[in-house]
């Protein structure tokens, strides 16, 4: 009989036990730890052509992101898009790269968030929990991190995609990859997935506090706050993806929490890719339209769909979209950073994790 009680056995170690009466080569019985695996989108290992091409190829070959038939899409992707975009996107990454750490800001911030959550959760649960992160595309891969957790004795894994709003192109594909990783495991850990959290009061509160802080530091109050969300094709909404509704609701909850009028805040969508119509209004056009209005010369922009600053916020919003606003006659543009490792954000995420661990610890 196998002895699954790790504390009752002299051969106990941090990753598991071996029954006292079992032969020396008997597989270890796992320690019964709980793994908490944070997941974000992923980022290139470097900004050179081949690193960019590898990353974009994996990302843009994902059917959850671009759902065209592979027969039509792959020749276009391989022969046209992946010959040009690695150069343009590589240059954009170079402009925001964390040279000191040799990695992209998304990677640095995800590591910071993981450290802060590990500190918070091990304070409560000790070494009964293991906290780490993985990426959907590139490194560290979801599969490698699931493997590490299982090896370290995790019999349960809570998987947490760090996207406040659900989208097939983000949350669902992260979950798909997690389930693919579980398929590889002989002794599969029990798994839970954290829900989207756009309407969790602590998340809305953390967002509101970051905006109040930014507004408090400005000499003149902005005329309007633009909440710019990453876009998706409008067709995805028509096919049932709730992302658009969850973005609209995020802005509404934020407005209510701030106690603002409808005219002080608006929702837009950025990062359009390809010829299809995407969710609108497009941020880049909307900020130019606002700049042409006499009463909207001063704006602030925040990005509530991103749990961490990345190329889409630091380069696209703070460089391209700022330029569009200023070029159209706008006078004052403030980018309000993502929540990153802000203590209120970490406390909100830790609260969500604790609620999802119910009955496990």
Ligand X SMILES: C=CC1=C(C)c2cc3[nH]c(cc4nc(cc5[nH]c(cc1n2)c(C)c5CCC(=O)O)C(CCC(=O)O)=C4C)c(C)c3C=C
By CB under 5 A, name the binding residues for Fe ion: 271, 312, 316
Query: Cβ 89 to ligand X, closest distance in Å?
Result: 3
In angstroms, rounded to a whole number, what is the distance separating the alpha carbons of residues 64 and 34? 29
315 or 341: CB nearest Fe ion = 315
Three-class SS state of 138:
coil
Is 319 among the annotated ligand-binding positions?
A: no
Report the nearest approach of ligand X to the CB of residue 56 (Å). Answer: 6
Task: Supply the minimum distance, in Å, between the C-beta of residue 118 and ligand X.
Answer: 22
With b for 16 or more beta-carbon neighbours within 10 A and e for fewer, the 257-276 pattern comes to bbeeeeeebbbbbbbbeeee
Residue carrying the six token digits 């780490």:
132
For residue 337, what are the CA distances in angstroms to 167, 304, 340?
A: 22, 9, 8
What's the DSSP call for residue 196? P
Identify the H or E element spanning 317.
none
Q: CB–CB of 134/145 below 8 Å?
A: yes
Establish whether 151 is an annotated binding residue.
Answer: no
313 binds, among ligand X, Fe ion, none (CB under 5 to 8 A by kind): none
Question: What residues contact 95, with CB distance under 8 A and at least 6 apart?
Answer: 315, 319
Number of C-alpha atoms within 13 angstroms, CB side, residue 312?
22
Least distance (Å) from Fe ion to the CB of residue 316?
Answer: 4
Rounded Cα gap, residues 175 and 183, in angstroms? 12
Cβ neighbour number for residue 81 with a 10 Å cutoff: 18
What is the binding site for ligand X (CB under 6 A)?
Answer: 41, 43, 65-66, 85, 89, 104, 106, 163, 167, 169-170, 230, 232, 243, 271, 273, 305-306, 310-312
> Considering the complex, what minimum distance in angstroms separates the CB of residue 117 from Fe ion?
23
Smaller CB separation from ligand X, 146 or 169: 169
Q: Which among ligand X, Fe ion, none contacts residue 182 (Cβ within 5 to 8 A by kind)?
A: none
Which of the choices Fe ion, ligand X, none does residue 174 contact, using the CB cut-off of 5 to 8 A by kind? none
Q: Which is nearer to ligand X, 306 or 325 (CB)?
A: 306
Residue 137: phi, psi to the nearest 5?
Answer: -120, 140
**Residue number, nearest CB to Fe ion:** 271
CB closer to ligand X, 43 vs 175: 43
d(CA 170, CA 76): 23
CB closer to ligand X out of 30 and 244:
244
Q: Return the SS3 of 36.
A: strand
d(CA 303, CA 323): 17
CB closer to ligand X out of 104 and 268: 104
Residue 109 binding result from ligand X, Fe ion, none, given CB thresholds of 5 to 8 Å by partner type: none
Nearer to ligand X, 18 or 244 (CB): 244
Q: Which does 310 bind (CB under 5 to 8 A by kind): Fe ion, ligand X, none?
A: ligand X
Question: Smallest distance from the beta carbon of 246 to ligand X, in angstroms?
Answer: 9
Smallest separation (angstroms) from Fe ion to the CB of 86: 14
Ordered alpha helix ranges (H), 217-292: 234-238, 243-258, 283-292
Minimum separation from the CB atom of position 132 to ligand X (A) = 19
Beta carbons of 181 and 213 less than 8 angstroms apart:
no
**Residue 306 binds which one of Fe ion, ligand X, none, with CB within 5 to 8 A depending on kind?**
ligand X
**CA distance linking residue 213 with residue 27, whole number of Å:** 54
- What are the backbone angles phi and psi of residue 98, rounded to the nearest 5°? -85, 90
Residue with Cβ nearer ligand X (41 or 353): 41
**Tokens 């909307």, located at residue:** 286
Binding-site residue ranges: 230, 312
Binding-site residue ranges for Fe(2+): 230, 312
């Amino acid at each position: 009989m196998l002895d699954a009680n790790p504390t009752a056995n002299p051969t106990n170690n941090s990753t598991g036990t071996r029954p006292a009466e079992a032969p020396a080569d008997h597989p270890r019985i796992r320690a019964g730890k709980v793994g908490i695996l944070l997941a974000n989108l992923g980022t290139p290992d470097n900004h050179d052509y081949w690193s960019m091409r590898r990353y974009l190829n994996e990302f843009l070959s994902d059917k959850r992101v671009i759902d065209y038939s592979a027969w039509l899409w792959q020749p276009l992707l391989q022969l046209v898009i992946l010959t040009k975009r690695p150069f343009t996107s590589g240059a954009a990454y170079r402009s925001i790269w964390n040279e000191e750490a040799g990695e992209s800001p998304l990677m640095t911030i995800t590591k910071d968030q993981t450290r802060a959550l590990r500190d918070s959760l091990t304070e409560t649960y000790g070494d009964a929990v293991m906290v780490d992160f993985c990426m959907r595309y590139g490194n560290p891969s979801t599969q490698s991190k699931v493997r590490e957790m299982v090896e370290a004795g995790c019999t349960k894994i809570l998987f947490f995609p760090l996207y406040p709003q659900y989208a097939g192109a983000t949350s669902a594909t992260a979950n798909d990859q997690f389930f693919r990783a579980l398929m590889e495991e002989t002794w599969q850990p029990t798994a839970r997935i954290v829900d989207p959290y756009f309407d969790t009061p602590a998340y809305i509160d953390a967002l509101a506090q970051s905006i109040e802080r930014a507004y408090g530091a400005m000499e003149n109050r902005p005329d309007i706050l633009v909440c710019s969300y990453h876009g998706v094709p409008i067709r995805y909404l028509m096919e049932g993806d709730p992302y658009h509704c969850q973005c609209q609701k995020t802005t509404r909850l934020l407005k209510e929490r701030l106690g603002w009028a409808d005219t002080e805040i608006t929702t837009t969508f950025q990062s359009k890719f390809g010829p299809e119509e995407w969710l609108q209004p497009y941020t880049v056009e909307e900020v130019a339209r606002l700049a042409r209005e006499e009463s909207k010369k001063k704006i602030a922009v925040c990005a509530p769909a991103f749990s961490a600053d990345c190329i889409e916020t630091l380069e696209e919003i703070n460089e391209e979209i700022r330029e569009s606003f200023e070029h159209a006659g706008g006078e004052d543009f403030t980018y309000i950073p993502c929540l990153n490792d802000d203590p209120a954000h970490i406390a909100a995420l830790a609260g969500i994790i604790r609620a999802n661990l119910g009955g496990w610890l």
